[in-house]
Structure 1
Amino acid sequence: MISGKKIYYVPGLISALLIPVLFWYLGNRKLNEPIPNVMDMGLPAKLNDKNYNYSFESLRNWNYQKIIVQPNSAKNNSKFHVSKLKELQKRNEKETGIEFILDNNNSYGDFASILNDFHIAKQETYGLDLDKTGHLFATVNYQDPNAKDIEYDCLLCNDTIYNEYKPTFFDNTQFFIMQLPKETFYLIFGFLIFLNISMFNIKERFLN
């Protein structure tokens, strides 16, 4: 006959209350961590007679529209910068561009904001004049409207085309687990310890 003895599942209750709190606390800390970003700028080779035409010196005397970037104002004027860049691209005039004038009073945020404006406007050609002015230049990648498309031979003839790879459920699960922060594995390990302790206590109570 089964007795009416009550079983107090204390360890399980503690884990049920504690684990969600730990997930919430550590999860928020992970999301609030600053994400390091890297700005990649290519440094030119030392200027000489051989690479003169591949440096900014050959573009220095182009017709540039000058835009003075006031300190800590580039982000607020982002829409204006993007509109000017798109106008430049639309005109498609040879040897033209925009010169964003920066000085020592401008911040890193101003510099990064203008580079972001280049990305938004899909400005493909631009450069930083490190030698003399320190200004950012957006140049026109002139497209000849009268140019004719060059006809090429068949590029895919006699090639083998394979079906696109589609990841399986196992692949997606494995990728998801690899993206989890290490704190998650600590929580899972702690939960398993609490679970083992709880099952051991239940077994002892039944035996007694």
Structure 2
Amino acid sequence: MKIYYVPGLLSLLLLPVLFIGFLKWSGKGKVYYVMPLISVNKEYAKKHPFLFPEGYPPKRKYEDINITGVAALDEIKLTYSQIRVREMLQQNNASQGIHYHFGDSATYGSFIKALNILHIEMAEQYLVDENDIWFLNVPRDNTPYKGIDCMLVWCVAEVPPRETYWEKLLIKMSEIWDSSWWLIIGFSLYLIAIWLIRRTPSIK
């Protein structure tokens, strides 16, 4: 006669699944943000002057924002620069710009904050060059197009086939499995444990 220790059996089956579920749940609160950034190669720009017809950096009356590493002063300078960036964009100012220079004692956080300011103010034109960031505004060309309007005569469109009911069901089941596989396995093991317990003869 086989004797099963019910609490131990349940713990053996459920603890690994609960542990995996805890790891998955504990990582959900972490959110990471990234910002695409392209750095300028000055040597390449010199060899191909057509990339910067106004010179490098493009000619503007730049206001220098020198970040030195003194936290209180750097905070004031960055706040001021955000106000100026906003004003230049609102006024569509194409004659001025902002030049951030990060000294040897400047922190990485200040560099990220300067980029974040440009992102918040929706600045579209700025150059990142080692320890410098050059912000400039390039006015958009709003000149109406005077070309000849074209009429679409014919076109070929590739229409994908409609998904069948079974295909939609399989996709839905796959999504459920990907998001809750550990819960499904845990519940299945729990049912197996209950079935084994019921098959165990009672000891009198």
Per the normalisation by structure 1, the TM-score is: 0.63
Residue 195 (str. 1) matches residue 191 (str. 2): yes
Cα distance in 1 between the residues matched to 2:42 and 2:101: 23
Moved more, 98-107 or 69-78: 69-78
1:9 Cα deviation (Å)? 7.2
Partner of 2:154: 158
The partner residue of 2:67 within 66, 69, 76 is 69
Partner of 2:113: 113
Where in structure 2 are there 5+ consecutive unaligned residues?
A: none
Amino acid at match of 2:57: L
Secondary structure in 1 aligned to 2:43?
coil
**Where do 1:14-29 residues align within 5 Å?**
22=19, 25-29=22-26
For the 8 Å contact 1:19–1:187, the answer to whether it is kept is no
Superimposed CA distance per residue, residues 34-85 of structure 1 (whole angstroms, 9 cap, x where no aligned partner): 7484753244263476412424843354211222335356678766443322
**Where do 1:111-190 residues align within 5 Å?**
111-130=111-130, 134-143=131-140, 147-151=143-147, 153-154=149-150, 158-159=154-155, 171=171, 174-175=174-175, 177-178=177-178, 180=179, 185-186=181-182, 188-190=184-186
Secondary structure in 2 aligned to 1:100?
strand
For the 8 Å contact 1:129–1:136, the answer to whether it is kept is yes
Cα distance in 1 between the residues matched to 2:85 and 2:196: 69
For the 8 Å contact 2:21–2:182, the answer to whether it is kept is no
For the 8 Å contact 1:99–1:136, the answer to whether it is kept is yes
Task: Report sequence identity in percent.
Answer: 16
1:29 Cα deviation (Å)? 2.8
The partner residue of 2:43 within 10, 35, 46 is 46
Distance change >3 Å, CA 103–CA 177, structure 1 → 2: farther
Secondary structure in 1 aligned to 2:154?
coil
Secondary structure in 1 aligned to 2:200?
helix
Where in structure 1 are there 5+ consecutive unaligned residues?
A: 1-7
1:112 Cα deviation (Å)? 1.5
CA RMSD of aligned residues (A): 4.5
Per the normalisation by structure 2, the TM-score is: 0.64
Amino acid at match of 2:199: K
Cα distance in 2 between the residues matched to 1:154 and 1:177: 50
Secondary structure in 2 aligned to 1:58?
coil
